[in-house]
A and B are shown apart, each in its own frame.
Chain A
Amino acid sequence: MSTPSDARAAPAAAPARRLHRSTLLFEALRIGRAFVVPALLAALGAADDGPGRTTAVGLGVLAVPALLAAIAKYLGLRYRLTTEELVIDSGVLSRRHRVIPLRRIQNIDVRQSWLQRLASVAELRIETAGGERTEAVLSTLAWTDAEALRAELLGRRAALGHAGMEIREAAPPAETLARLSPADLALAGATANEAGLAAAGLLGLLQLVEDLPVQVPLPGVDPSALIPSPPAVGIAIVVAALLALSLLAGWLLSIIGAVIGYHGFTLERAGDELRKRYGLLGRREGSMPIRRVQTIRVEESLLRRPFGLAALKIETAGAGPGQRPRAGAEAFLPLARRRDVPRLAGAVFNDLDYATLRFHPVHPRARRRRFLRYSAPLILIAGVTALATRPAALLLLLLVPLLFLIAHKQYRHMGYALAPGYAATRAGFFNRITWIIPDRKIQTLHIHETPFQRRHGLATVIIDTAGGGRSIASIPDLPREEARLLLDRLTTRATRTAASSPIPT
């Protein structure tokens, strides 16, 4: 690793390049969307005079400096690539000189909206670790330029990582890991959320209500307390029907969105890089160095489990120390067959033998704790309501067995596994998430004990990595001694990996 000053001294007189001419057009379109359209809408919606008109004029006036800024951005921006850095100069009045060391680049994305596709241009986005946002956006470049720049950035970075300054010729051959057909994508969209199921359920319920006799005689319950008056029933049915229809529409949209948005989804591995590309109207190509992958998340939602389907996500280091994390993980493969998961996980983590993962269960009291947590509020509400107003509220108690079932399933799904070099945790009922965490990516380890857990001698182990968004790998309700041993073991493994291999591969 040489110092940046060497790099500048090196034969780095690459010509500075500027953005594609169409930048101006796209900037104008963007500004039009942001200012002019709302302004027109406000003007249309307004009478001759009044706040709407003022808003319209105000927005129109604001659009002018925005347009000037866009022109200045186009005129002022120059980028060039040296052997070790990407240098971007921008600004006309206040100049900014940004140097991005190639080594720090995490992800390079090439994106293309359908309009940009028509014009054969694209947007290149560069993300680095430690940056809270996208470090650099080159928008827009000719598609071929964007592709060439991406390939060049990747090639130079790879060369830096291995053998000093030499630039390795020709990227290694790409191996296709997965390819999703339109049918796969339709399935992915259909099972993406519970909208379809909810719509079907509601429609079924409506059918049932229509078939119901107006009065249901229930022993011991005053029927007038249970069945609301006819107008209320009518309104309820209309509302439910509308809800069902909108859910259905949402479901169809999610299917269409998946088929179009992820059209031709291809995931491949080239050397130590993951690449994916997809899109029918817009196009997106992304790449990510495998060594930046912090964890793999296998998500199996309630809807997907019966079909043996899962979604794979990977987390890369998003934010640096002391910064706010970027939420969420990156979808790595929106839909995968469960039987393919070991192969795909193995393609990212080469030395992981997924098949050897044996999940250890947590303490059976986890089931009881969860059941109590869910049922206690329900029983309380049902009881109080029944005593205070209507005894029919006791019917809510019929849900208690269902809650027990959920608690039981959650308990069955909880667990952890240790394989050489890797730890895995698993939890969740509605969305069962399996985390795979390499020892070398473990940052800190924690045990939490709530007063309720301590009564039962239980504890939660938490494994923190640099990839986490909102959720985090944790193993709840382990016997306390087991939690301690696990913490010690993982600590030892984490420290050992760091000492032996400073730069993980």
Chain B
Amino acid sequence: MLQEGSATAAAAPAVRSLDPRVIRLWRVRAALWTVALVSAAGAVGWLASGPPAAAIAAAAALAAGALLAGTAPAARYRAWGFQLREHDLYLRRGVLWRSTSVVPHARIQHVDTHCDPLERWLGLASVVVFTAGTTGGAITVPGLASAEAESLRDRLAALGVRETGAEAPGGDPRSRDVDAV
């Protein structure tokens, strides 16, 4: 973790964290999942044997869900980092399964911001960067403050246009994208 941070911090602007409110977002989501899981476990237990089994299954599901909701979001927050570098967007994430991704600005097809009702309630938004790639085609930076997400989106979109080369002034943007592929 620390090693990773120091290795990448060398390249100009520091690796940025997400908005801390994202922890709350992930907790709420985990809580909702836990509710679903508890009811499912309870239902299965009830059908399989009876109320005692239902209670045990529900309690186990509740304990597991609570443990995850309590610990995972903070750890995930600490693991998340992104950096808008000169020629690319760099991200790292994941606690147990770690990933590092790089999206060259030149490969950006378009950039979206996106927020679901929960995110909106917390004043957060996600930035989704689309490339022509097939597996890493859409790369999401979640949990940014709305204003920050918008400014990141605009900067990425501008960088994408600059680096893709403006060989098609006023041309059909679709064909530019296709040629760039």
Contacts and interface: CB of A to CB of B under 8 A. Distances in A.
B100 A472 contact: no
Contacts of B103: 444
B178 A447 contact: no
A322 B7 contact: no
A347 B109 CA distance: 29
Interface string B65-95: 0000000000000000000000110000010
B interface, over-half SS: mixed
Interface residues of A, number: 49
B104 interface: yes
A313 interface: no
Contacts of B179: 103, 502-503
B39 interface: no
A360 interface: no
B135 to A, nearest CB: 5
Interface residues of B, number: 44
A487 B135 contact: no
Contacts of B40: none
B134 A467 contact: yes
Contacts of A292: 181
A161 to B, nearest CB: 9
B136 A464 contact: yes
A386 to B, nearest CB: 31
Interface stretch (B26-34, B55-63, B117-125, B160-168): B160-168
B132 A321 contact: yes
A465 B7 CA distance: 27
Contact of A464 (B87, B130, B133, B164): B133
B35 interface: no
A243 interface: no
Interface stretch (A10-18, A262-270, A448-456): A448-456
Given A495-B163, A503-B167, A451 B181 contact: no
A446 interface: yes
A128 B103 CA distance: 24
B115 interface: no
Contacts of B97: 448-451
A104 interface: yes
B171 A1 contact: yes
Nearest to A315: B134
B137 interface: yes
A1 B133 contact: no
Contacts of B105: 495
A320 interface: yes
Given A466-B134, A469-B134, A499 B181 contact: no
Given A464-B134, A466-B133, A444 B168 contact: no
Contacts of A446: 99-102, 136
A1 B102 contact: no
Given A101-B172, A104-B178, A495-B87, A321 B131 contact: yes
A447 B99 contact: yes
Given A1-B167, A321-B110, A454-B98, A444 B133 contact: yes
Given A1-B167, A320-B109, A321-B130, 4 more contacts: A322-B137, A322-B138, A469-B134, A499-B106
30 contacts: A1-B168, A3-B170, A4-B172, A101-B172, A129-B181, A130-B177, A130-B178, A320-B132, A321-B130, A321-B132, A322-B137, A443-B132, A444-B104, A448-B99, A450-B97, A462-B135, A464-B131, A464-B134, A465-B134, A466-B133, A466-B134, A466-B181, A487-B102, A491-B88, A491-B102, A492-B87, A495-B105, A495-B163, A498-B164, A503-B180
Interface of B: 7, 87-88, 94, 96-107, 109-110, 130-139, 163-165, 167-168, 170-172, 174-181
The 8 closest A-B pairs by CB, nearest first: A502-B165, A498-B106, A443-B133, A321-B130, A466-B132, A464-B133, A468-B134, A495-B87
